[in-house]
Amino acid sequence: MNKKSIFYFIMLFVILTLVVSGCARKTVKVEEKVGPEQVVENGVGKSKKFDDALDLAFRDALTKVVVRIIGPELEEANRDKLKSYMYGISESFILNRQVTDKVKSGKDTIVYVRATFNKSKVEESINTLGIEIPEKKVEKDYAESPYADVINEALDNLTYLVYFEPEKIKISDEYARLAVNRVNNYFANKEYEYVDLQRINEVKDEYFRLYEETAGTVSVVQLIAQALNADIYMVVDGIVEDAGKEGDIYFASASIDLKAFESATGRGLGTETGYSGKLGLASGMDAAKRKGVEVAVEKAIESVVNLSRNYMLKAFEKGIRYEVLVQGIPSYKMLKVFTDIVRGSGNFRSLKEVSAAEGQAKYYVYYMGRKGELIDDIISDIQSEDGFANFNVLISRGNAVVFGIEE
Which pLDDT tens digit goes with each residue over 290-301? Answer: 999 999 999 999
Looking at 287, 317, 347, the residue that finishes a domain is: 317
Q: How far is CA 154 from CA 147, 162, 383, 398, 399, in A?
A: 10, 19, 27, 10, 8
Going by their DSSP bridges, the two strands 159-163 and 232-246 should be labelled as parallel
Give yes or no: residues 301 and 166 share one domain. Answer: yes
| pLDDT tens digits along 363-378 | 999 999 888 999 999 9
Give yes or no: residues 48 and 117 share one domain. Answer: yes
CATH number at residue 122: 3.10.28.20
Give yes or no: residues 72 and 207 share one domain. Answer: no
Give yes or no: residues 101 and 185 share one domain. Answer: no
CATH number at residue 224: 3.40.50.10610
The phi, psi pair for 372, rounded to 5°, reads: -60, -35
The phi, psi pair for 119, rounded to 5°, reads: -60, -40
Looking at 283, 317, 351, the residue that finishes a domain is: 317
Three-class secondary structure of residue 261 per DSSP: strand
Confidence of residue 213 (pLDDT cuts 50, 70, 90): low
pLDDT on residue 138: 56
Chain mean position to CA 37: 25
Give yes or no: residues 199 and 295 share one domain. Answer: yes
Mean pLDDT of 25-46: 62
Give yes or no: residues 164 and 280 share one domain. Answer: yes
Confidence of residue 207 (pLDDT cuts 50, 70, 90): confident
pLDDT on residue 212: 67
Kindly report the number of other CB atoms within 10 A of residue 219's CB atom. Answer: 19
pLDDT on residue 140: 58
pLDDT on residue 87: 94
Give yes or no: residues 305 and 161 share one domain. Answer: yes
Mean pLDDT of 124-141: 81
CATH number at residue 375: 3.30.70
Structural domain tally of the chain?
Answer: 4
pLDDT on residue 31: 37
Give yes or no: residues 323 and 296 share one domain. Answer: no
| pLDDT tens digits along 214-259 | 665 678 899 889 888 889 999 999 989 888 888 999 999 999 999 9
Give yes or no: residues 84 and 205 share one domain. Answer: no
Q: With residue 354 as reference, give the H or E element that holds it.
A: strand 348-357
R_g of the chain, CA atoms, integer Å: 27
Contact in structure between 116 and 40 (CB atoms under 8 Å): yes
DSSP 317: G
| pLDDT tens digits along 316-331 | 878 888 889 999 888 8
pLDDT greater than 60 at residue 28: no
pLDDT on residue 186: 95
pLDDT greater than 50 at residue 309: yes
Q: Which of 16-30, 325-339, 345-359 has the weakest average pLDDT?
A: 16-30
Residue of 268 and 189 predicted with greater confidence: 189
Percentage of the chain with pLDDT > 90? 39
Give yes or no: residues 100 and 147 share one domain. Answer: no
Confidence of residue 141 (pLDDT cuts 50, 70, 90): low
**What range defines the domain where residue 121 resides?**
35-136
Give yes or no: residues 157 and 285 share one domain. Answer: yes
What mean pLDDT is reported for the chain?
84
373-398 as b/e: b if 16+ CB within 10 A = ebbebbeebbeeeeebeebeeeeeeb
Mean pLDDT of 50-76: 91
Looking at 317, 334, 354, the residue that finishes a domain is: 317
Give yes or no: residues 273 and 151 share one domain. Answer: yes
Q: How many CA atoms lie within 13 A of 145 on its CB side?
A: 17
Mean pLDDT of 352-369: 87
Mean pLDDT of 82-104: 90
Confidence of residue 23 (pLDDT cuts 50, 70, 90): very low
